[in-house]
Amino acid sequence: MTDIWIGLVDAVPIDPAGSELGGAYVHVLAPADDRLELLAAAEEALAEHELRVADLDDAEPVRDVLRRPLDPELLELALDAALERETRLGPFHWYPAERDTDPGALVASSLDEPRATMSTALENRTLMKVRSRYETEGATGYVVGLGTRWALLHVVNDDVAEDGFLATSLEMVAEIEAVDPEQSFFPRVMAMRPPTARLPEVDLDDTRGLLETAQESFPLLTIQTEQRHPGACYIGRVASLDDEAAVFHLVSPAGEWDDEDEYPYETITRIGFGGRYEEALALAAGPDPAG
């Protein structure tokens, strides 16, 4: 059965114009399988109060929280959420608009804004730069797929050449902008030399489904867990998938098969495949000896 998850939301007005309130901290409790489902439930519940999610912290199953002291009011809300299978919000703790808030963070974790921008880019075939919260440069490419949790980017590298695909979690998107043809020659070159790679059919609504469908078409996958290990990436093949995590048989930078490691779905924020580096590493490593 789906767990009840709890998290602390920094909620801000959808339309801040004329508001004397900067926002509020509020606990959200909802049936969810992971942090992303809790985030989606929070967005829906807060929209009824003309608020949106600016940040979500301390998201975890209530059963884990119960190992520590829990406010009786929140415990009661958790029981109510479990019985009714509905989202519940705790008390709102408001703060004034003058509060010093990082404007980048207010946009980064709202799912609606990146989805709307990427939807337009998908429709118009616009060359975009997409940056996550934990990187400075970002990736350049075309949005070629959009799901409820993931967006798929057909990557264009610094040599203005196709370089595989990158699935990025919508939750982690911090900045999306079109590549300005007045500032870069990339759009003109790509117009003269359009991408030719066949688009993969991958599941962009579910992390487990995305890993499974991507692995069917590509020899190696690259995953990133930016919130836990910013800047690190792990390359390998899916060894197994269960309800909560993926086990990867990793390949070392030397092109040799290495150990297996487990990655909970909720920690995976980026998945790459079909890039030149992954293809070269797969060629060096050869078939997975584990089968």
Domain ranges (residues) in the chain: 3-102, 112-285
- pLDDT of 248 reads 96
The pLDDT tens digits of the residues spanning 32-51 come to: 999 999 999 999 999 999 89
Cβ 221 vs Cβ 236: under 8 Å: yes
d(CA 277, CA 94): 49
- pLDDT of 106 reads 30
DSSP letters of 198-241? PPP---SS-HHHHHHHHHHH-S-EEEE-TTTSTT--EEEEEEEE
> Which fold is adopted by the domain 112-285?
SH3 type barrels. (2.30.30)
The pLDDT tens digits of the residues spanning 1-18 come to: 689 999 999 898 887 665
- pLDDT of 104 reads 33
- pLDDT of 153 reads 96
Cβ 42 vs Cβ 9: under 8 Å: yes
Phi-psi region of 85 (alpha: psi -120 to 50; beta: other; left: phi over 0): left
Structure tokens at 128: 């975009």
- Judge if pTM exceeds 0.85: no
d(CA 164, CA 277): 9
Question: Which residues, given as ranges, of the chain have pLDDT below 50?
Answer: 99-111
